[in-house]
């Protein structure tokens, strides 16, 4: 029932529209028109104003034609750089850019899939419950659109984000993450004339970082220092440096321990640096900002949405397994707000690079699974979970996702 040609053509149209994070207005207006043409009630919220962007999240409501639980469908509109002037090239079953930019399949493949599925539902008058479509902004900047979405406006308590790679994986588990910014203050001095009168902020930061556990901490936990900014010239002892990093874990106690460790490394490094000049004591110091960037995602295999996806795939003769990832997505935010939302693959490969490409067959299969999920949700209504119904367990597999 999915129209492959139409699905691909809409995707190609979408990736040609520039929509870097914070500048999604043109694609948002296009999608509002598209969804209104499919009979949806569409609004754009004020998330853009809150994050300094030029448009908010697109929120669409499609009334069902049968009694069934409302379901949320979500993808993000923004893309990373270099993402302007995308020229998609179709080569057989693969879509890529011309090599100068990313493709934008992350996350416009999800948008194209959602729109195509809604078209099929409407064209064929297929049974479905209420559907709420959310196209978010600024996902690539830290899930900001989802963070500023007022979920009290939503009827749905479960749903799907379409924002991962290989279709055989249904992401049900993702880590919580902490972001950290350390501002290290030293004392400036001439590096050639009187270096002993300075405290080198870069050296303090370097010692802190050298003492840290970074990379793969354990099977559930990672940590990274990703940005260092500071210094004015090679002949000046630097009095200031900024260091930014993160930690992630599927275990929140481990995450807290890793974050505490990284903070302590900076505090202890700064405490080792002090000097007295003209009877005045100068000390290195650290000002830190640490915050929980997004919560952990851990959706049980017995949840309605997971069972819907697995049963839909089985009907289609496809194999999909629950998986865990080390990355985060909008689904983390929805789960943190009390919903049960998982992340379905769309066929993306090598995202965030100019080698990004999309497997058309997987995008098509993803659309077929989503359509079957909506049909099955309508078919079973509120009776998917009968008391005593078996819950087959499937071993988790780890896959890659962003951010």
Q: What is the dihedral of CA 344, 348, 350, 352, to 10 degrees?
A: -80
Tokens for 314, please give them: 């089985």
Is the CA virtual torsion 186, 187, 189, 192 positive or negative?
negative
**Residue 232 clears pLDDT 80, i.e. is over it:** yes
Q: What is the DSSP letter of 235?
A: T
pLDDT score recorded for residue 388: 33
pLDDT score recorded for residue 398: 43
Locate tokens 């707000």: which residue?
337
pLDDT score recorded for residue 77: 98
Mean pLDDT value of segment 224-238: 97
Q: How confident is the model at residue 394 (pLDDT cuts 50, 70, 90)?
A: very low
Tokens for 384, please give them: 């998917």
pLDDT score recorded for residue 384: 64
pLDDT score recorded for residue 125: 95
> Residues 36-57: pLDDT tens digits?
999 999 999 999 999 999 999 9
pLDDT score recorded for residue 396: 39
Which residues are catalytic, by number? Answer: 78, 139
Mean pLDDT of the chain: 94
3-state secondary structure of 116: helix
Q: Please name the helix (run of DSSP H) or strand (run of DSSP E) that holds residue 53, with its range, or none.
A: none
**Residue 150 clears pLDDT 90, i.e. is over it:** yes
pLDDT score recorded for residue 401: 46
- Round to whole Å and give the CA distance between 166 and 163: 10
Q: How confident is the model at residue 385 (pLDDT cuts 50, 70, 90)?
A: low
**Residue 139 clears pLDDT 60, i.e. is over it:** yes
More confident residue, 138 or 403: 138
More confident residue, 304 or 396: 304
Tokens for 284, please give them: 């290195």
**Residue 393 clears pLDDT 70, i.e. is over it:** no
pLDDT score recorded for residue 383: 73
Locate tokens 């050296």: which residue?
203
Mean pLDDT value of segment 18-46: 97
Is the pTM higher than 0.85? The answer reads yes
More confident residue, 392 or 371: 371
> Residues 276-302: pLDDT tens digits?
999 999 999 999 999 999 999 999 999
> Residues 72-121: pLDDT tens digits?
999 999 999 999 999 999 999 999 999 999 999 999 999 999 999 999 99
* Residue 183 neighbours by CB under 8 Å, 6+ apart: 240, 241, 242, 286, 287, 288
**What does 139-154 look like in DSSP terms, one character per residue?**
GGGTSHHHHT--GGG-
Q: What is the DSSP letter of 179?
A: E
Q: How confident is the model at residue 403 (pLDDT cuts 50, 70, 90)?
A: low
User: Mind listing the domains of the chain with CATH numbers?
Assistant: 4-175+296-399 (3.40.630.10), 177-293 (3.30.70.360)
**Residue 208 clears pLDDT 60, i.e. is over it:** yes
- Round to whole Å and give the CA distance between 10 and 377: 26
pLDDT score recorded for residue 381: 83
**Residue 68 clears pLDDT 90, i.e. is over it:** yes
- Round to whole Å and give the CA distance between 183 and 305: 43
Percent of the chain with pLDDT over 70: 95
- Round to whole Å and give the CA distance between 187 and 285: 10
């Amino acid at each position: 029932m999915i129209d492959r040609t139409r699905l691909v053509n809409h995707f190609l149209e979408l990736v040609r529209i520039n929509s870097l994070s914070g500048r999604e207005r043109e694609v948002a207006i296009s999608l509002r028109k598209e969804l209104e043409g499919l009979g949806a009630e569409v609004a754009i919220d004020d998330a853009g104003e809150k994050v300094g962007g030029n448009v908010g999240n697109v929120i669409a409501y499609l009334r069902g034609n049968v009694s069934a639980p409302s379901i949320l469908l979500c993808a993000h509109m923004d893309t990373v750089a270099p993402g302007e002037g995308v020229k998609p090239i179709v080569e057989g079953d693969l879509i890529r850019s011309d090599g100068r930019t990313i493709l934008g399949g992350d996350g416009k493949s999800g948008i194209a899939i959602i729109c195509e599925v809604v078209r099929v539902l409407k064209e064929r008058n297929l049974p479905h419950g209420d559907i709420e479509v959310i196209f978010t902004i600024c996902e690539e900047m830290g899930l900001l659109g989802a963070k500023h979405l007022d979920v009290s406006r939503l009827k749905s308590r479960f749903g799907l984000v379409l924002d991962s790679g290989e279709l055989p994986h249904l992401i049900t588990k993702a880590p919580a993450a902490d972001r950290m910014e350390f501002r290290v203050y030293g004392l400036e001095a001439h590096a050639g004339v009187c270096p002993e009168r300075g405290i080198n902020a870069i050296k303090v930061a370097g010692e802190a970082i050298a003492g840290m556990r970074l990379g793969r901490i354990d099977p559930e936990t990672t940590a990274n220092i990703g940005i260092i900014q500071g210094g004015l010239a090679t002949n000046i002892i630097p009095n200031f440096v900024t260091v930014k990093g993160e930690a992630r874990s599927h275990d929140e106690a481990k995450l807290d321990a890793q974050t505490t460790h990284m903070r302590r490394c900076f505090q202890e490094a700064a405490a080792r640096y002090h000097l007295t000049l003209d009877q005045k004591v100068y000390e290195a110091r650290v000002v830190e900002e640490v915050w929980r960037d997004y919560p952990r995602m851990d959706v049980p295999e017995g949840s309605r949405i997971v069972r819907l996806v697995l049963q839909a795939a089985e009907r289609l003769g496809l194999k999909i397994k629950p998986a865990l990832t080390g990355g985060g997505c909008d689904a983390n935010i929805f789960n943190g707000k009390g919903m049960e939302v998982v992340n379905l693959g769309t066929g993306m490969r090598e995202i965030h690079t100019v080698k990004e490409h999309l497997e058309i067959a997987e995008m098509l299969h993803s659309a077929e699974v989503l359509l079957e999920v909506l049909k099955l949700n309508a078919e079973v209504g509120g009776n998917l979970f009968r008391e005593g119904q078996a819950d087959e367990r499937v071993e988790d597999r780890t896959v890659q996702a962003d951010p």
